[in-house]
Structure 1
Amino acid sequence: MTNTFADLMAHQRETEALASIAGRLGWDQETMMPRGATKMRAEESAALEGVLHARRTDPRIGDWLAVANAPDDAGQRALDLIARSYNRNTKIPARLAAELARLTSLAQGIWAEARATETPADFLPTLQEVVALKREEAACLSTGDLYDALLDDYEPGMTGAEISAMFDAMRPRLVALREAVLAAEAPPALDHVFPENAQLRLAKICATAFGYDWTRGRLDMAVHPFSSGSGNDVRITTRISETDPFNCIYSTIHEVGHACYEQGIDQDYLFTPMGAGVSMGVHESQSRIYENQLGRSAAFTGWLHGRMVEMFGDFAVNDRQVFHAIVNRVSNGFIRTESDELSYNLHVMLRFDLERDLVAGRLEVADLEEAWNTRFASDFGQRPTLPSQGFLQDVHWSVGLFGYFPTYSLGNLYAGCLNKAMRAQVSGVDDALAQGNAAPATDWLREGLQRHGGLRDPRATIEAACGFAPTADPLLDYLEEKFKAIYAL
């Protein structure tokens, strides 16, 4: 008589390995693949997705789940996650899964070209097809709110209504603080050329300072920075502007947060359902706390200032307190990934509302650019003058990631809670950061959160690490204390 649990886990192990290969194809497409290979890669992605869908919907999984007995709590969690995946995937036709993989692979290249040439008309027909397929997918998964069905892929258990209520609660304090800061005297902007090669060397130094394991990772360039992979092969990307070194430095630290979460997961969970981050909200909590509460702290920017002087020479900022203010400068920019901590969540709220309307059919793709520009003008007081400043700036919709955007702000909320708990429990965090050593903070995160991977549900993961239920107050309190001090409010 065979061991049913062992048979199911062996099947899952091969599925996870194939999914890892699919992820590597995506990494290659954004970093190394020649432009002429786009259509070929789309067919490869569709073929592999077909194999994965067949494995995830294999009728034997249902049979195994019906009789399998887990040996321990981790085994039971694995069964629960496999059952969740099986129930969702069996509702999606193989044709739809393959077509989504094929189209989104093509759409990514079309988006990148349209963004580079500022020609949104070249992308809109493809985006219309993506939206139609995502609506079809959502209809397969749910008889209720279509957006909730897509959101559940990235933040299990969360609903659009809950996200909307969270944003409504956060917005007044965010807007009031941002308006007060923008009315105050701003720190100067950098006015210097920072050579690309030196920026990349400094980015690697920062990645090392935050614990990125180079024996299991690498750093490459991409149009839109991202982290890819899990376990023992976790790769990050960044981008460089020679007049804005913070773009490279903090994009790198942000992606290192994602990567260290994956590298820190218990090796026993490798190629199991627990072997990756439990949700994108929890994932973003790691990238955002690395980037902001740690990386943009006065302690760490003091150390960073010294490294930049060594690397770039005199760049006309000699005071470390002024440098800290420059790193945290609040401005009315167009680009989410370059925005300050006060503006960032407003960018996300805009995207959340628009994509929710797209999925529901309240907004058509043909009207998206104008809807974006009008909303942006309402929230930020200015209209984008280029599509790359507006709805073409992010890769997410081209690759079908509807439901992903709100997890960025949820991650900020979680990061605020983790920062409060960490600083109450760990002494000497700032003293170490001032020496370019993030280990006291990152060790606490690894032990309390990262190593557990997908063992617990998202909210339970945060509660277990913090010792209290997540709310927006720690994040908002942190922002008010920080920016009132910087801007002397």
Structure 2
Amino acid sequence: MTTAYNDLLDFVRETEALSQVAGRLGWDQETMMPDGAIDQRAEEQGAMAGVLHARRIDPRIGGWLEQAVAEDDVAAAQLRQIGRSFDRAARVPAQLATAIARETSRAHRTWAQARAEEDVAAFLPALARVLALKREEAQAIAGDADPYDAMLDDYEPDATAAQVSAMFGAMRPRLVALRDAVRARPAAPVLKGDFPEAAQMALSRELALAFGYDLGRGRIDKAVHPFSSGSGLDVRITTRTNPVDPFNCFYSTIHEVGHACYEQNIDRAYLLTPLGGGVSMGVHESQSRIYENQLGRSRAFTGWLFGRMRDTFGDIGIASEEDFFACVNGVTDGYIRTEADEVQYNLHVLLRFDLERALVSGDLTVDDLEAAWNDRFAADFGFAVDRPSHGVLQDVHWSEGLFGYFPTYALGNVYAGCLHAALRNAVPDLDADLARGDTGRATAWLRDNVQRHGGLYQPREVIARATGAAPSEGPLLDYLDAKFGAIYGV
């Protein structure tokens, strides 16, 4: 490789290492930081953001990019990713990047307190400040284009709001029709029993290992909102427990393990480079959702989990593997996106996508957000929001300035549907493995076809290379119709 290319990669590796340190500050804030430290942490986050921004717009990068020669596909991808990041960062003033980091750090804690106290008014001023800063950033990046597209591009490169909106519009009728048909049928069985936290966490750890999570390069902690953090040799996850709903813990863990395994399985040669992380949040979400749903909630795997649940907790109020499968996949009315069943989950995402687009465009004000949320929820789900923590305060994303993030959850489901169809074709006898709690062949296929590539290919290209076709909503909708049609007899 040319000297310019090597110098550029050395510089970028240092920047990526510092970015991982900044990420660790965020992990600590979510899991272990004392409440009284928030103002100092905001300053620390702001300082790190300033250092990182300065490195990302360092004029030497532009010179190296002009001189560097890509001698293979990996080098070409590195240069593409570095050039994209440099172009975006160069459009954002340093003071703005620092202000966003400070404001979102403070807003996160304000949101957590407001959520605990069911006090929307206490959060709205912080949200307004974050939104104003993120609008300013998006406008700087977008120029004359749609600022929301600039926000979305940060999480799903090359996607546009128009493309996503068209896909979501095609999904909605079949999702609503399936939901309405299932609602007309008898409810699924429910768990009954005693589910101590220590036992939940022990079985959660067992599930993480069953899905291939390397605890030698990770750890499992608790957080209000489960998440995965880090890449390469240090990838951490969090989960949460509920004394009456152990599935909240187990499937949050499996979900975050999907994210973590993506990061852990990326080719080690890409460590601390732009290719050393997941290529997009949509592809990332495809891994967490296929681990959680198509594998973890499958008839075969739930048969194994049924035995482990009874071994761990004794009587759980479910008499058979078939009833347990229906219980795990029960379609129930609920407020919380992260706890939603597969049939209704994407409807929660569509609601947020439309509302945040309206916020960014100015068609919806922060002061009117709660009423707009409640009206839309009632229209989409047929019942009223009962309290703010079940409505506009339930998600952490807007407090952290993550506008454009929500649609990637539904894109991840679409990608997972495509990957699952291809996986089943590649491993037609997979259920025999899953019935033993063995996910090895499934996770190996995902590792080899998706995860190891990291950022080498563009998001839609990753899915197309793995499946042989461009991503579309069809496989996901067909999977949902078949699975829930069989469970509910519709």
Using structure 2 for the length normalisation, give the TM-score: 0.99
Match of 1:249 in 2: 250
1:72 Cα offset (Å): 1.4
8 Å contact kept, 2:190–2:317: no
Match of 2:418 in 1: 417
Say which SS state the counterpart of residue 220 (structure 2) adopts: strand
Say which SS state the counterpart of residue 18 (structure 1) adopts: helix
Distance 2:435 2:402 in 1: 38
Distance 1:421 1:231 in 2: 27
Distance 2:71 2:200 in 1: 50
Distance 1:52 1:33 in 2: 22
Match of 2:59 in 1: 59
1:330 and 2:370 correspond: no
1:327 Cα offset (Å): 0.3
Letter in 2 for 1:403: G
Distance 1:124 1:184 in 2: 40
1:2 Cα offset (Å): 8.0
Letter in 2 for 1:258: H
Match of 2:456 in 1: 455
Say which SS state the counterpart of residue 455 (structure 1) adopts: coil
Pairing of 1:185-264 with structure 2 (within 5 A):
185-264=186-265
1:437 Cα offset (Å): 0.7
Distance 1:79 1:270 in 2: 15
8 Å contact kept, 2:2–2:68: no
1:64 Cα offset (Å): 0.7
Distance 1:227 1:339 in 2: 19
Pairing of 1:43-54 with structure 2 (within 5 A):
43-54=43-54
Say which SS state the counterpart of residue 236 (structure 2) adopts: strand
Summarize deviations over 1:362-407 as a string: whole Å, max 9, x none.
0000000000000000000111111000010000000000000000
Letter in 2 for 1:59: P
8 Å contact kept, 1:428–1:440: no
Match of 2:469 in 1: 468
Distance 1:472 1:99 in 2: 38
Letter in 2 for 1:308: M
- Aligned Cα root-mean-square deviation (Å): 0.9
1:30 Cα offset (Å): 0.1
1:318 Cα offset (Å): 1.8
Summarize deviations over 1:326-376 as a string: whole Å, max 9, x none.
000001100000000011000000000000000000000000000000000
Letter in 1 for 2:299: A
Match of 1:373 in 2: 374
8 Å contact kept, 1:266–1:275: yes
Distance 2:194 2:120 in 1: 31
Say which SS state the counterpart of residue 456 (structure 1) adopts: coil
Letter in 2 for 1:98: T
Letter in 2 for 1:53: H
Say which SS state the counterpart of residue 144 (structure 1) adopts: coil
Distance 1:446 1:337 in 2: 25
Match of 2:127 in 1: 127
Pairing of 1:155-166 with structure 2 (within 5 A):
155-166=156-167
Q: Which runs of 5+ in 2 are unaligned?
A: none
- Moved >6 Å (runs of 4+): none
Match of 1:477 in 2: 478
Letter in 2 for 1:43: E
Summarize deviations over 1:23-42 as a string: whole Å, max 9, x none.
11100000010011001000
Say which SS state the counterpart of residue 154 (structure 1) adopts: coil
Summarize deviations over 1:192-236 as a string: whole Å, max 9, x none.
221110000011111111000010000000000000000010000
Summarize deviations over 1:86-123 as a string: whole Å, max 9, x none.
00000000000000000001111110111011111111
Distance 2:150 2:426 in 1: 37
Going from structure 1 to structure 2, the CA distance change for 1:199 and 1:63 (only over 3 Å counts) comes to same
Summarize deviations over 1:36-64 as a string: whole Å, max 9, x none.
10010000000011000000000000011
8 Å contact kept, 1:163–1:406: yes
Match of 2:277 in 1: 276
8 Å contact kept, 1:118–1:387: yes
Aligned length: 489
1:426 Cα offset (Å): 1.3
Distance 1:75 1:35 in 2: 44
Using structure 1 for the length normalisation, give the TM-score: 0.99
Say which SS state the counterpart of residue 42 (structure 2) adopts: helix
Letter in 2 for 1:197: A
Q: What percent of counterpart residues are identical?
A: 63
1:189 Cα offset (Å): 2.0
